[in-house]
């Protein structure tokens, strides 16, 4: 999906979140990646079963 196909309202919300986290000295992408780890562990997928 390219950026031009995103809902403009969604795109604006993501920009606001990026700005919010930047002000706090954090990276939104890293934060979102961190949210994925507990989800993976909660549903019982182990890192050894994930092939990159």
Residue 26 domain boundaries: 10-42
The pLDDT assigned to 29 comes to 86
What are the average pLDDT values for consecutive 10-residue runs of the chain, which has 52 residues? 73 91 87 73 58 50
Indicate left, alpha or beta for 44 from its phi (over 0: left) and psi (-120 to 50: alpha).
Answer: left
Rounded to whole angstroms, what are the CA distances from 14 to 19, 23, 29, 42? 9, 14, 10, 26
pLDDT at 43 (0 to 100): 62
Domain count, the chain: 1
pLDDT score, position 31: 82
37 domain-assigned:
yes
In angstroms, the CA 31 to CA 25 distance is: 11
Does any domain span residue 47? no
Whether this model's pTM surpasses 0.85 = no
Question: What pLDDT shows up at residue 39?
Answer: 62
In a domain, 2, yes or no: no
Tokens of 47: 């890192």
CB 11 within 8 A of CB 3: yes
Q: Is residue 1 one of the residues assigned to a domain? A: no
Q: Is residue 32 part of a domain?
A: yes
């Amino acid at each position: 999906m390219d950026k031009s196909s995103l809902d403009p309202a969604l795109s604006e919300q993501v920009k606001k979140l990026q700005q919010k986290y930047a002000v706090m000295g954090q990276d939104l992408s890293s934060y979102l990646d961190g949210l994925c780890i507990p989800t993976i562990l909660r549903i019982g997928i182990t890192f050894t079963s994930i092939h990159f």
